[in-house]
A = this chain, B = another copy of it.
Amino acid sequence: MIKTVTSPAFIIDINRCLSNINFMRKKALKKGLFLRPHFKTHQSVCIGNFFRKYGINAITVSSVSMAEYFKRKGWDDITIAFPVNVRETDKINLLSKNSEINLLIENLEAVRHLKKKLKNKVGIFIKIDTGYHRTGVNYGNIELIKKIIKEIKNSNLYFKGFLTHSGHTYYAKSKKEIININDDTNRKLNLLKKLFFKDYPNIILSTGDTPSCATAENFEGIDEIRPGNFVFYDVKMLSLGICKEKNIAVCLACPVAAKHKSRNEIIIYGGSIHLSKDYITNSSGTNSYGLIVKLYNKGWSKSYRNCFVKSLSQEHGILKVSKKLFNELNIGDLIGILPVHSCLTANAMKGYYTFEGSFIDHM
């Protein structure tokens, strides 16, 4: 298939993807965790079906429109992991007809709005802030949590549990720090479980970030995990030590457009509208927007050492390369880029190609 690529194409290694799914499924089984994978990374019905074959029937999404997309494809147990957008209540009413829909709540205003407008039963998770400080009720704000639970009563909303996303693991400096964050998150959620268990014995604790789910061993008291990124992993996860390079399941194939020997730079057709602008900072302090690999008919090489994507503009990518790679590459060749953030690259590319040339859907 590679030979037929003429413009940036997003390639998926199905075997790696399946192996990533299987790893997380086994880990969840072993730890007694309910796996409700986040589908915002792949946004694909076909990749969703890989999960289904492993018996996974409940999913997480990040928007109402993503829930609509997957509901149309037969998924009927969906958590929309975003503080509920009350402007979409009509759509939520359509979604929750004959489907199990869970919403995230972190304030009384949204509960009051939903109580008035929702026509069908929906599950409610209270979003808890355990340290990321993006969204959620602070885990120590028991007063607000109690008020929300009280406000939920006698309505179409039913309280299911506490949900958090410890996104601060993405900024961790070591595996140990990730494990510490995970332990801290679990401890904080378990405090809440203890407090509300008597009245709500079926209370669910749900955590989510791929770094913790992939690395940690302690999930005491946790009932559900919602990782997403692990399905592909990426250079960011690699830099955190969360995955090996051989686990990265997606790669952007890009044509070589120009070469600049004086700077050891290669210009590819492949820019921020393909890869997104997320970057990692190398140990030398320079930013990297991706790693560089050689493409084969059925796979790709290890990444070239001391070579990386130095910058991106709308359609251009600038590769900083070794002299050896510079000499190897010719105008019109294809080169592969491992993305820094696979979720955003997938979202930009809107579809995947397999090595056999099949096209895999993206929302």
**Residues of A at under 8 Å CB distance from B?**
5-7, 40, 62-65, 82-88, 90-91, 106-107, 109-110, 113, 133-135, 167, 255, 257-260, 263, 267, 269, 272-273, 276-278, 313-316, 318, 330-332, 334, 343-344, 347-348
Most buried by B among A90, A107, A110, A315: A315
From B87, B110, B257, give the contact of A84 (CB < 8 A).
B257
**Min C-beta distance of A12 to chain B, whole Å:** 19
Contact A331 B40 (CB under 8 A): no
A107-B258, A258-B106, A277-B276 are contacts. A332–B87 as well, Cβ < 8 Å? Answer: yes
CB-based nearest B residue for A263: B133
A167 to B86, CA, bound (A): 42
Contact of B318 with A134 in the complex, beta carbons under 8 Å = yes
Contact A87 B314, CB 8 Å, known A82-B257, A107-B259, A331-B107 = no
**Cβ–Cβ contact B267 & A134, under 8 A:** yes
In this complex, what residue of B is CB-closest to A129?
A: B260
A63 touches B315 (CB 8 A): yes
Write the nearest CB–CB distance from A61 to chain B, whole angstroms.
10
Instruction: Tell me the complex Cα distance, A64–B347, Å.
Output: 21
The 3 closest A-B pairs by CB, nearest first: A277-B277, A86-B332, A109-B331
Q: Known interface pairs A314-B40, A314-B347. Does A330 touch B109 (Cβ–Cβ under 8 Å)?
A: yes
Enumerate 10 A-B pairs (CB-CB under 8 Å) in ascending A order: A5-B87, A6-B85, A82-B257, A82-B316, A107-B258, A134-B318, A135-B260, A273-B344, A276-B276, A348-B348
- Minimum Cβ distance to chain B for residue A40 (Å): 6
Asked whether, in the complex, the Cβ of A332 is within 8 Å of the Cβ of B267, the reply is: no
| A7–B331 touching, CB < 8 Å | no
Establish whether residues A343 and B318, one from each chain, have CB atoms under 8 Å apart when the complex forms.
Answer: no
- Contact assessment for A7 and B135 in the assembled complex, using a CB-CB cutoff below 8 Å: no
Alpha-carbon gap, A130 to B343, bound state (A): 36
On chain B, the residues within 8 Å of A334 by CB distance are 87
Given contacts A135-B267, A257-B83, A331-B110, contact A88 B273 (CB under 8 A): no
Q: Provide the bound-state CA to CA distance between A334 and B259, in Å.
A: 47
With CB as the reference atom, state the residue of chain B lying closest to A268. Answer: B85
Instruction: Say how far A104's CB is from chain B's closest CB, in angstroms.
Output: 9
| Interfacial chain B residues near A86, Cβ < 8 Å | 255, 331-332
Min CB gap A289→B, angstroms: 11
Q: A88-B7, A272-B344 are in contact. Are A82 and B315 (CB under 8 A)?
A: yes
CA of A26 to CA of B343, assembled, Å: 43
Please tell me which one of the listed residues B5, B85, B267 contacts residue A255 in the complex, with CB atoms under 8 A apart: B85
Residue of B nearest to A136 (CB): B258
Contacts of A106 on B, CB cut-off 8 Å? 258
B-side contacts of A109, CB under 8 Å: 330-332
Residues of B within 8 Å of A87, CB to CB, are 5-7, 255, 332, 334
Residues in B whose Cβ lies below 8 Å from that of A314:
40, 62, 343-344, 347
